[in-house]
């Protein structure tokens, strides 16, 4: 059972320890024992959100992020446990999994509702919340390098934060994700991910939710769009990568990226907080297996974005929405990346340089390397 211990950093940001082992939990139950000694100044004001009347989208303006930490050496890492020489973001001398409010937040810390009738020139506070999830106390790695026990604790942390953030005023969408690799734009080598709680439904999530709702309504509320896709992929088998009892992974029929895999629960569930213990257990093993296969394709680690597509908070859209992971990478060969150029970046029209069937076959045949236990 994961023990959750909340505390506060010296500038008021919330920090939460997630500990699965008995010894780890005992270390963190007393918040005073892990007090932040840095004496940070109070947090600055939230950034702004500007409304793009040409697209109907909100754009966050967060100029303060220009000064965020960029690839620091190990002895200055802000996500490593605190030492006398490095008073980091995590005050404890050791930890298992930690979630805390991002010091360089794109949204928040203020909570509230964006204007309901924006037009050209509308500017508002960038309400919301951005959190960092430190997967492990080790300085280097990613989710795929975690032990199954540590990865399971991360899953619990994602689920708990999804539920808590969804209940906050003004939050419309909760997004858990991991960026892996310098080619993706990672600025910290420490194994970590992020959680964004948006004050609006982001464009990609809105498209998925609206398509799902239309399909659900057309079926008379009897079938979901992702459920139909999963059933079709399992029946075909051409693009399947992994099939478990509760989860399956497949390369989508119309994959946009050279490497793209969807990891989908067999049971419709709105978000990570709705998964049962048995489903979380299998998710941990299947996800680690999938990441291992991705890295087995080439001699060097593959950069990726692991994006959890969860249901919007909106009660109307949730019944048709279906939790799933979209794992994508721009890597199209051992020494080549796909860059979003004219068609993709300007028009949003993707052109894939590989076939989903060949990618699925390669992933099925890949043999993941043995992981080191980081627990």
Give one DSSP letter per residue of 179-248, joined into a string. EESGGGT----SSEEEEEEESS--HHHHHHHHHHHHHHHHTTSS--HHHHHHHHHHHH-TTEEEE-SSEE
For residues 155 and 234, membership in a common domain is answered with no
For residues 56 and 104, membership in a common domain is answered with yes
pLDDT at 29 over 70: no
Residues 99 and 283: their CA atoms lie apart, in Å, by: 20
Residue 65 lies in a domain: yes
85, 98, 270, 366 from 93: Cα distances, Å: 12, 12, 36, 38
pTM of the model: 0.95
pLDDT at residue number 283: 98
Residues 21 and 10: their CA atoms lie apart, in Å, by: 27
Residue 373 lies in a domain: no
Q: Give the mean model confidence (pLDDT) for residues 63-67.
A: 64
Residues 16 and 161: their CA atoms lie apart, in Å, by: 10
Average pLDDT in the chain: 93
Q: pLDDT tens, 107-121?
A: 999 999 999 999 999
Q: pLDDT tens, 259-287?
A: 999 999 999 999 999 999 999 999 999 99
Residues 271 and 43: their CA atoms lie apart, in Å, by: 31
pLDDT at 326 over 60: yes
pLDDT at 66 over 70: no
pLDDT at residue number 26: 60
Range of the domain at 147: 3-173+182-196
Residues 274 and 174: their CA atoms lie apart, in Å, by: 14
Last-in-domain residue among 196, 230, 259: 196
Q: pLDDT tens, 243-262?
A: 999 999 999 999 999 999 99
**Is 302 within 8 Å of 182 (Cβ atoms)?**
no
* Residue positions annotated with a catalytic role: 192
26 or 1, greater pLDDT: 1
pLDDT at residue number 375: 38
Q: Give the mean model confidence (pLDDT) for residues 217-225.
A: 97
Q: Give the mean model confidence (pLDDT) for residues 54-72.
A: 81
pLDDT at residue number 282: 98
For residues 47 and 95, membership in a common domain is answered with yes
Q: pLDDT tens, 159-197?
A: 999 999 999 999 999 999 999 998 998 888 899 999 999
For residues 39 and 71, membership in a common domain is answered with yes
Domain count, the chain: 2
């Amino acid at each position: 059972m994961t023990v959750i211990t909340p505390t506060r950093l010296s500038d008021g940001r919330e920090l939460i320890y997630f500990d699965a082992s008995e010894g780890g939990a005992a270390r963190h139950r007393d918040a005073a024992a892990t007090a932040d000694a840095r004496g940070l100044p109070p947090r600055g004001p939230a950034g702004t959100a500007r409304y793009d009347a040409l697209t109907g989208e909100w754009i966050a303006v967060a100029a303060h992020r220009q000064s965020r930490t960029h690839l620091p050496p190990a002895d200055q890492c802000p996500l490593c446990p605190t030492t006398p020489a490095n008073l980091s973001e995590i005050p404890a001398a050791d930890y298992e999994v930690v979630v805390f409010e991002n010091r360089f937040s794109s949204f928040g810390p203020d909570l509230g509702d964006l204007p309901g009738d924006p037009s050209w020139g509308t500017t508002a506070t960038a309400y919301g919340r951005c959190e960092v999830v430190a997967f492990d106390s080790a300085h280097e790695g990613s989710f795929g390098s975690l032990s199954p026990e540590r990865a399971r604790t991360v899953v619990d942390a994602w689920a708990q934060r999804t539920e808590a953030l969804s209940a906050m005023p003004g939050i419309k969408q909760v997004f858990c994700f991991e960026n892996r690799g310098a080619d993706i734009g990672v600025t910290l080598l420490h194994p970590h991910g992020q959680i964004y709680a948006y004050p609006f439904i982001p464009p990609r999530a809105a498209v998925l939710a609206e398509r799902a709702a239309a399909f659900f309504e057309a079926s008379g509320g009897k079938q979901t769009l992702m459920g139909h896709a999963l059933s079709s992929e399992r029946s075909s088998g051409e693009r399947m990568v992994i099939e478990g009892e509760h989860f399956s992974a497949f390369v989508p029929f119309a994959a946009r990226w050279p490497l793209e895999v969807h990891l989908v629960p067999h049971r419709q569930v709105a978000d990570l907080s709705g998964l049962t213990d048995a489903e979380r257990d299998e998710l941990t093993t299947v996800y680690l297996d999938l990441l291992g296969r991705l890295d087995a394709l080439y001699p060097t680690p593959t950069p990726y974005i692991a994006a959890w597509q969860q249901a919007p908070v909106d009660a109307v859209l949730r019944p048709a929405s279906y939790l799933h992971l979209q794992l994508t990478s721009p890597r199209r060969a051992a020494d080549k990346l796909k860059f979003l150029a004219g068609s993709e970046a300007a028009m949003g029209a993707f052109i894939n340089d590989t076939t989903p069937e060949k990618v699925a076959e390669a992933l099925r045949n890949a043999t993941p390397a043995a992981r080191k236990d980081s627990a």
